[in-house]
Amino acid sequence: MQNLRINEQRLWEALMTMGEIGATAKGGCNRLAASDLDKQARDLFVAWCKACDCTVEIDKIGNIFARRAGQNNHLPAVGTGSHLDTQPTGGKFDGVFGVLAGVEVLRTLHENQIQTPTAMEFSVWTNEEGSRFQPAMQGSGTYVGRFDLATELNKTDTNGIRLGDELKRIGYLGDMELGSRHMGAFFEAHIEQGPILEDEQKAIGIVRLGQGIRWYNIEVIGRPSHSGTTPMHLRQDAMLAAASIVKEINNLTQDYENALGTVGYMDVWPNSRNTIPGKVSFSADLRNPDAKVLETMHQALEAICHKVAKEQDVQVICDHIWYFEPVEFNASDDVKAATEQLGYSHMDIYAGAGHDACYMADLVPTGMIFTPCLNGISHNEAEYSSPQECAAGANVLLHTMLAASERIAQQHGTEHLSATTEKTKADQVSAGTLNEALN
C-alpha cells in the first residue's frame, strides 16, 4: 500500500460542502456547538461514515465515534478526529480539516477494499472551541475524565440554555459511557493556526509538544479621584499600575525560549475621561511547552504583581484560574515515519493552541499532523489552506494510521505468542516434575 493516496479533489469538495453549513458573507463559518447548524454538520459526517459501512455511536457528552471494522476487532483500534464547531467568525478549516481528513482516509480504505489489521475509528468531539459553552475542548476533556459530566451538561450559554438540553434537542445526547472506546492510538490532523510552516516552507509539521497554558484574572485596586486636582505624586492610579504589569508580562517572555504572554481583555472603572481609574481588571495568558519554564514564568508574574503593588501603592490581586499542563505527543515518530515515506518536507513543531488530541494523550499514544495555513491566520473568516496542503496532511494521516494498525496487531500478536510460550514452558515444567515424582 506504499503508493496508496487519498483523493485530493474529493477531500476539497467535502471541505467546501461542509463550509456551506453556517457560511458567512466573508467566506468563513459560524457554526456554534450544539446549534441547529452543528446538527446539520454532524448529520452530514454520520451520513458519509455510514455510506462506508461504519457503525456510529454517541457518548454522554455528544462525541461521535464511527467505527470501521478490521481483521481483528478485539484489538485496540486506531482513532482520528477533531471538531466541527467553529468560532462565531471562524474559518472552513480549523477542526473541520481534521474531521474530513479522517473521512477521506475512510473513503480511501473503503473504495480500495482495504481491510486493516485493527478497526479504525473516526470521531467528532463536542464543543472544542468553547465559544458557546465553556470550557474549550469540552467533549474530549469530559471523555478522558478531566471534567465532570454532570457539571458540563449543566453549563449554559449567554441565553441560559443548557448544553445537555441542546444536545438532546438536536439528537446528539448519547448513552455510551465516556472513555469506553477501545483505542490503541489516536492521531489528529489540523491546520497549524500559525505562520511557522509557511515561513519555513515545510509541508508538514510533526507536533512533538502541546503548549502549556496558565490563565489569570488580575485586579488592580487604586483610588479614583479627579484628574484635574490630584497631583501626580499623590495618585493611586490603577491604570498606571496595570500598564506596568502588562509591560512586564511582555518583558518576561523575552527571558525564556518559546515563551508567550498576552493580555487580551481589560475593564476600567469608572471608565471616565476625567477620573483617575480606581480599578482595572484584566486577563493574563502565559504559555510555554516546558512545564518547568511555565512554572518559573508563573512565579515571575506573581513577583511582578507584588512589586508593582508595593511601588505604586495599590492593591493587586492575581487570581490563577486555569492551568493546562504541557503535552508530549508520544506517537510523533509514527507521523514522522509516514511523512518521510511520502517524501514531504517537514519539521518538528509544538502546538500553541489547545486541541482534542491534547486530552486524548492522557489515554493512548497520540500524535498530531500540522499543515500550513495562509499567513498563519486562524479563528478568522480569511482562514485558508490549499487543496495540495490539505491533501498532504491527509496522506500523512492515512499512512500513519495504517502503520499504527500494523504495529498494534504485531505487538498484540507477539504478546499473545509470548503468553502462549510461557504457558507451554510452565506446562512442560509441571509435566517434568510430575514424571520425576512418579519415577
The mean pLDDT of 371-394, rounded to a whole number, is 97
Statement: residue 209 has pLDDT above 60? yes
Confidence (pLDDT) at 415: 56
Whether residue 178 is predicted with pLDDT greater than 80 in this model: the reply is yes
pLDDT band at 413 (very low <50, low <70, confident <90, very high): confident
Per-residue pLDDT, 439: 36
Instruction: State what percent of residues in the chain have pLDDT above 90.
Output: 90
Instruction: List the one residue out of 198, 206, 194, 190 whose CA is nearest residue 96.
Output: 190
pLDDT of amino acid 423: 42
Closest CA to 67 of 181, 189, 187: 181
Banded pLDDT at 223 (limits 50, 70, 90): very high
222-240 average pLDDT score? 97
Distance (Å) of CA 383 to CA 18, 27, 51, 130, 368 = 15, 9, 30, 19, 19
Q: What does the domain layout of the chain look like in residue ranges? A: 8-210+326-415, 212-324
What is the CATH code of the structural domain delimited by 212-324?
3.30.70.360
pLDDT band at 414 (very low <50, low <70, confident <90, very high): low
Region 296-311 average pLDDT: 98
- Is pLDDT above 80 for 436? no
Hey, CA dihedral for 131, 135, 141, 142, is it positive or negative? negative
What are the cell numbers at 329? 505527543
**Nearest in space to 386 (alpha carbons), one of 239, 124, 111, 192:** 192
Q: Cα angle at 83 between 294 and 39, to 5 degrees?
A: 145
What is the pLDDT averaged over residues 360-379?
A: 97
Percent residues over pLDDT 70 in the chain:
94
Is residue 179 scored above 90 in pLDDT?
yes
Please give the Cα distance from 67 to 54 (Å, whole number): 5
Q: What does the pLDDT look like over 92-109, one tens digit per residue?
A: 999 999 999 999 999 999
Question: Model confidence over 183-206: pLDDT tens digits?
Answer: 999 999 999 999 999 999 999 999
Q: What is the largest CA-CA distance in the chain?
A: 112
Average pLDDT over residues 300-305: 98
- Averaged pLDDT of the chain: 94
Residues 340-358, mean pLDDT to the nearest whole number:
95
Is the per-residue pLDDT at 437 higher than 60?
Answer: no
Cell numbers standing for residue 15: 471541505
Q: What local confidence, expressed as pLDDT, does residue 105 receive?
A: 98
The domain defined by 8-210+326-415 folds into Aminopeptidase (3.40.630)
The answer, yes or no, to whether residue 431 has pLDDT greater than 70, is: no
> Is the alpha carbon torsion for 69, 71, 74, 80 positive or negative?
negative
Statement: residue 352 has pLDDT above 90: no
For residue 333, the model assigns a pLDDT of 96
